[in-house]
Amino acid sequence: MSVEPEMPTKRETRVRPWLRWTVLAILVITGLLQFWLTPFSTDEGQFAYQLSHGQVASFTILNPHPQSGWGLQPLRGLHTYDSDFAVQWSDRFGMTREAGLSGVAGQNADGSNVDTGQLADALVAAAPRPKPQVVPEGQRVTDHATWAFAVVMLAMLGFLVFGNYQPRRMTKWATFWTYVLPFNVGMIWAVSRDAPWDPPMARLPRPEPGDTTYTVPTSLLRPRSSTPLGVRRRGGWAMFLLTSFILYGLVGAVLHDGVGNLLSGPSSKPGWHLVRGGTP
């Protein structure tokens, strides 16, 4: 049932323009950095080609199956790999890529496990000079950047949860699902188009929390009309489904992988016999 909304408070409508543009600039810059630093998923053959041609500046041997949980995870590619090892590397242009090493066995001929240090040494030995640098997990640029991106996300979520305002285009629960879209896309949209950041939307009457339909004086939107106008807000479940199955796949898989494919280089057949079946 629709409830007659109350007019917005002065505090809610007085978001200073410089603050809005500063927040928007931070979101755009960190979103672009996140897009570039998130490893572009590629194939093992491209790593083999770049390694054999001295184009790998540094690399890290990874667990190909990231652990799930609520802990803060470093930036990873948008795919998992059915292999014993995966590798994340930076080329001479600073672009980060990631691939599964399906041609590398997880055990030596004697049945012992191949550890990441053993594998990294073998790959360095197979590369021409200048030799690539081996960077342990936790010391990559992406590991440090994750914390900066998390601070931006937590600040926006804190303002959403504790802020004295109600978004106009969607409920707060729906706005939360918009915020979790990759590369800050949802947060950039919210700051650009919804209250309290967007002045025209902030001037509309304040809806009740969770109300998906409310009535506003049409004169606020159409000065020559006096008929009340119903405004529909998107609810939490609608945005959850939209962000989970459509927008996340579009922004994440299609856009990110598309750019990665456009910037992909030559590929060659891996010669991983150097590290398969025994001590390299």
pLDDT value, residue 156: 94
pTM: 0.72
pLDDT value, residue 91: 81
Calculate ∠ Cα 208-210-215, nearest 5°: 45
Does residue 228 have a pLDDT over 90?
no
Radius of gyration of the chain (CA): 25
pLDDT value, residue 276: 44
In total, the chain counts a number of residues equal to 280
pLDDT, mean of residues 110-129:
78
pLDDT value, residue 74: 44
pLDDT, mean of residues 14-29:
90
pLDDT value, residue 238: 75
Packing angle of the helix pair 172-179, 185-193 (nearest 10 deg): 140
- What is each CA distance from 168 to 63, 119, 171, in whole angstroms? 43, 54, 7
pLDDT, mean of residues 116-123:
82
Does residue 106 have a pLDDT over 50?
yes
Does residue 97 have a pLDDT over 50?
yes
- Residue 6 Cα to chain centre, angstroms: 36
Q: Give the pLDDT band of residue 59 (cuts 50, 70, 90).
A: very high
Q: For all residues of the chain together, what is the average pLDDT? A: 75
247 against 165, higher pLDDT: 165
Q: Give the pLDDT band of residue 37 (cuts 50, 70, 90).
A: confident
Residue for token pair 């997880």: 106
Calculate ∠ Cα 250-252-257, nearest 5°: 100
pLDDT, mean of residues 147-166:
90
Question: Residue 135: how many CA atoms within 13 Å on its side-chain side?
Answer: 18
pLDDT, mean of residues 2-21:
69
Q: Give the pLDDT band of residue 6 (cuts 50, 70, 90).
A: low
18 against 73, higher pLDDT: 18
- Residue 171 Cα to chain centre, angstroms: 23
pLDDT, mean of residues 134-141:
80
Rounded CA gap, 39 and 218, in Å?
48
pLDDT value, residue 112: 62
Domain ranges in the chain? 10-35+148-257, 39-143
User: If you write DSSP's letter for every residue of the chain in order, what string do you get?
Assistant: ---PPBPPPHHHH---HHHHHHHHHHHHHHHHHHHHHSPEE--HHHHHHHHHTT-EEEEEEE-SSPPPSSSPPPP--S---SSS-EEEEEETTS-EEEEE-TTS-SB-TTSPBPPHHHHHHHHHHHSPSSPPEE--TTSSHHHHHHHHHHHHHHHHHHHHHHSS---SSB-HHHHHHHHTSGGGHHHHHHHHHSTTTSHHHHTSPBPPTT-SEEEE-GGGT-TT--S-EEEEPB-HHHHHHHIIIIIHIIIIIIIIHHHHHHT--------GGGTSSS--
Pick from 9-18, 37-46, 131-140: least confident: 9-18
Q: Which of 83-92, 95-104, 191-200 has the highest mean pLDDT?
A: 191-200
